[in-house]
Structure 1
């Protein structure tokens, strides 16, 4: 058996930096959202839209990127998409109006989508089973470290130089990812233009959606990760505008969530040395459900404050970290000949859930109600899907 083209550590490290492009572009941005809205003379709905359209671009871009990478190669497609991200970040920096910023953020989301799709497709191209779960867990640790620090960094940049410094940081990060991809990522699939035919693309998606082995673990991660993505459009207005905390305190709250997720991922890595990754799924689902129930209590039964919101957020993030490696590995392993499409659809479901949460949040009377209903519902969906996969389809 030939050795993989990249080692576990190399792929896990570079892949995590690629994946982090999307989450960091939200995490570093959210502390500045109220100031950006005020600076353009826009309303909260327009501010939310700058996050929502990023998720739309991220979701739709994943579908396009994954299907293209199956036919044109992982590395080639990644370089094009990351170049688009850098150009869009520059457009954000120079945006003269909220409309321009919204358009640039949408393109930025499309460019960032390659990080999510390509890194995970590369894992499936070269690794399976427990090795795949270890790499995905390693990515989760590094990814969590970034968003844990990003809101605090965003708050500092906002205090020192304003929102323009945040966009400048995105430009630097995008260029760094582009260079790392060019220097360290090797191609794992050959060019096959027949896979770019529209019917072939639709057939790939249909096969995946009809497969319980793909759909249940994908729903697990979509519900849990989608809640974490979706709350990014609610928490700034809930914590800063409604509860009156400062952007710096908001950064501390985001550090709590991401820090707990990172510690849970480290703990999960230790557990995977002793137990198969699928055995951790029911434990993670149970903890995530406890977090969802606590959030309902903290928003409707208790007087909402920083701790009644952020402690439940940290709790369900802790639970999700236990289930994520096995669920993602299972989703990608179901159809190895469609690794790009599986990675794309898997990511699309996560980001799509986050976008739907952000969109539905605008229909609620305020951020308290949106946070207390939408996020627990999404977490519950993900946890129950994970339990169903463990019961019905786990290896």
Structure 2
């Protein structure tokens, strides 16, 4: 495919995961009231989504290596649409939990195929440029997601949230059917259990892959994990309405867009490793400010979202080059490598969301777990620099 087609389709597929979270989060407090359930149960719906997304990637990647990127995308996006319909027709909270789990399984193919399709066709700076452009396009969906979700919730009720997901998933499915071209040579042997185990074992023990993946698991994983906490912090603690929350989340995605544009502006003047250093520094500083603001200041919108914005700017700066570096050495197993990288990334979000349940206060969990994840990204980067110098 052309660079432009790869970029646009890559952004559409990658957006499935973040949009499914961004549109949903304004409805979480309302779902507690609608089903007469607890905050913990609704938080579990997001954790199940993360869990399904993370674990299913380990299958989605090899399936895309074995049957092709196009066939895998069509199959998993069909599952996503079915999960959205299950949630939209929910009669109790258990249906919501089941629908979100099915959605996560279906959405897992998006980032896996997007990254693998880039690796299939492009390498080096060109691949990083495409990943950066995907990030710029991707910022639009999650930026509008909470706002659209909040408005739909206020106007049409919680069911409309899931009907929006049906529409988006259906659009992505049609794009894969009519626009996505195959970018790899399918190899059915990639799905053999022995080959699968050997491939994943080789990846997870290779520091060239593991450490970049841990950088993403700490930084982007924190972005996902805070999605389970921010609605309750900003709506129940700070006092925003669901619509105000949706508008307020523009600060987060606006920071991501600003970071992506800034990276594209300076990419001709700084190297990939320098960009990663800058991005990791923003994540570390943002994590420190987040910890201090939560534990030392009374919570306000700015005290919460300014550190979030700093971290998110850093994520946009580091992720294109970290993804490219982590996949560069594995052209024959790009789908599996992309899947395992995504598993570690989403697994970080899943683990952070589960850890939040151990805290009685969503504010305390936010100010403890998210900084710890950002510091994990910093430590992984330092280890990667050390290992790279010795090789």
Same fold (TM over 0.5): yes
Counterparts of 1:289 and 1:12 in 2: how far apart (Å)?
29
Which of 35, 41, 50 is the aligned partner of 1:46? 41
Per-residue displacement from partner, 1:132-154 (whole Å, max 9, x unpaired)? 11111111111111111110111
- List runs of 5+ in structure 1 lacking aligned partners: 1-5
Counterparts of 1:48 and 1:317 in 2: how far apart (Å)?
22
SS in structure 2 at match of 1:50? helix
SS in structure 2 at match of 1:20? helix
Partner of 2:13: 18
Q: Does 1:233 find its partner at 2:243? A: no
Conserved 8 A contact 2:22-2:142: yes
Partner of 2:275: 280
Counterparts of 1:16 and 1:277 in 2: how far apart (Å)?
21
SS in structure 1 at match of 2:249? helix
Partner of 1:77: 72
- List runs of 5+ in structure 2 lacking aligned partners: none
Partner of 2:60: 65
Counterparts of 1:35 and 1:224 in 2: how far apart (Å)?
29
Partner of 2:196: 201
Conserved 8 A contact 2:237-2:299: no
Q: CA deviation at 1:277?
A: 1.9
Q: CA deviation at 1:59?
A: 0.5
Conserved 8 A contact 1:223-1:380: yes
Counterparts of 1:219 and 1:384 in 2: how far apart (Å)?
9
Which of 262, 268, 273 is the aligned partner of 1:267? 262
Conserved 8 A contact 1:285-1:384: no
Conserved 8 A contact 1:282-1:390: no
Partner of 2:123: 128
| Aligned length, in residue pairs | 390
SS in structure 2 at match of 1:297? helix
Per-residue displacement from partner, 1:332-351 (whole Å, max 9, x unpaired)? 11221110111000000111
RMSD: 1.2
Q: CA deviation at 1:389?
A: 2.2
Q: Does 1:367 find its partner at 2:340? A: no
Q: CA deviation at 1:119?
A: 0.7
Conserved 8 A contact 1:40-1:97: yes
SS in structure 2 at match of 1:322? helix
Per-residue displacement from partner, 1:63-117 (whole Å, max 9, x unpaired)? 1100111111111111000011111111111111100110111001110111110
Q: CA deviation at 1:391?
A: 4.4
TM-score norm. by structure 2 comes to 0.97
Partner of 1:30: 25
Q: Does 1:159 find its partner at 2:121? A: no
